[in-house]
Chains A and B, each alone.
Chain A
Amino acid sequence: MPKRGCLGCSFPVLIGIFVVFLVLMVISLLSGALGSSLFGDLGLPSWLTVPKPHLQLPAEVVFHLFGFPITNTILATWLSIIVLVGIAYAVTHRIRLIPSRLQSLLEFAIEWMLNLCKDVAGEKNGRRFFPIVTTIFLFVLMNAWLSLLPGFGSILITGAEGEPVYLLRGANTDINMPLALALISFVVVEYFGLRSRGFRYLGKFINVGQFFRSLGQLFRGKLKAGLSGLFTGAIDIFVGMLEALSEFVRIISFTFRLFGNMTGGEILILMMLFLAPWVLAIPFYGLELLIGFVQALIFGGLTLVFATIAVTPHEGETA
């Protein structure tokens, strides 16, 4: 058949694809919840009806290992670790000067992240922050994208309490994983700040220099300068405490941003699958791909930005 027309397919193939898609749309409309509310009970076979999704926020325990409960989200993180390490090993154990295709794909990703780190943090600091930022980015990305593979959330086994649970569940939907990553990010940012600037880094939060200096001025008799300095000093102390508070609020913000986006996406896709099984979830799958990538980039990128802020000396100070 001559190859012309749309997408390289000839015209009859295109008509065939279109008809198949139309049939899928009709079946999904009839067998989902939309169909049963529009047309009433049609008596479809049980493998064609979709049960109401049972949403559960805490992750379900699959088995116990040395007394430690292993949930299905932990299994999903193990899977993404295996996938990431497997890809890295496959590329680097026979690394070549003229790269193979997988190697050039990985090189593109690594170089893109390195350029991002260098753009935000400068040359030297960019290389210092690159490992942790890229690890966070790749881990969150792999967790988010693996949970979109067909068959990922479909394997049912009996869990620890005896009721059927899914074997795997997207790891970012368990609130412990974003919390752990947020704590790691917090510790890493503080570590880089302390390491680069010593204990003067804590001077950003405990900003009492101006206050005590103006007290000294008062005792030495310079009343007007002393009083105005006292006022500025009090504001400085307050601003320092606010900065310290915002460092801690950052943990909560990171956690809930990632958790909320991922759980919202999972609930959205479950609901769309419940409404009209095959067809309605397609645009939301695309949305979930984009959101997974953007959230991974945001997590890594914000860690990078806060580390850069922590390392940069104040104006008026020498580095």
Chain B
Amino acid sequence: MDVETMKVLAAGLCMGLGAIGPGIGIGILGMGAMQALGRNPEARGPIMTNMILAIAFAEAVAIYALVVAVVLIFVA
């Protein structure tokens, strides 16, 4: 298997495997936010704000995987 094939395969695996963790994490965050909202619909503002903030943190890890995949294809 030559280097070019390996690079493309590595890019695909990187993005695919790197999206599993953040996906599950964002789902757990959403579940927590829905439960909190169900218990206390009046606290919608702070709950949504904090949920968006936490989702951005979790998504950043998936973005790191995307950056590595893009670097593998276009730069390396």
Residue pair A260, B63 in contact (C-beta under 8 Å): yes
Give the residue name and chain of the B residue nearest to A120 (CB).
Answer: B49
Give chain B nearest CB distance to A174 CB in angstroms: 14
- Which residues of A253-273 are within 8 A (CB) of B? 253, 256-257, 259-261, 263-264, 267
Using A57-B74, A264-B66 as known contacts, say yes or no to A301 and B53 having CB atoms under 8 A apart: yes
A297 touches B74 (CB 8 A): no
Residues from chain B with Cβ under 8 Å of A295 in the complex: 56
CB atoms of B52 and A294 under 8 A apart:
yes
- Given the interface pairs A264-B63, A264-B66, the reply to whether A257 lies near B56 with Cβ below 8 Å is yes
The interface residues of chain B, by DSSP majority, are classed as: helix
Number of B interface residues, CB 8 Å?
15
Main SS at interface, chain A: helix
Q: In whole angstroms, how far apart are the Cα atoms of A297 and B51 in the complex?
A: 13
Given contacts A55-B74, A253-B60, contact A260 B53 (CB under 8 A): no
Pull 21 A–B residue pairs with CB atoms less than 8 Å apart, ordered by A. Answer: A55-B74, A56-B74, A57-B70, A57-B71, A119-B46, A119-B49, A253-B60, A256-B63, A256-B64, A256-B67, A257-B60, A259-B67, A260-B60, A260-B64, A263-B67, A263-B70, A264-B70, A298-B52, A298-B53, A301-B53, A305-B53
Report which A residues bind B (CB closer than 8 A): 55-57, 116, 119, 253, 256-257, 259-261, 263-264, 267, 294-295, 297-298, 301-302, 305
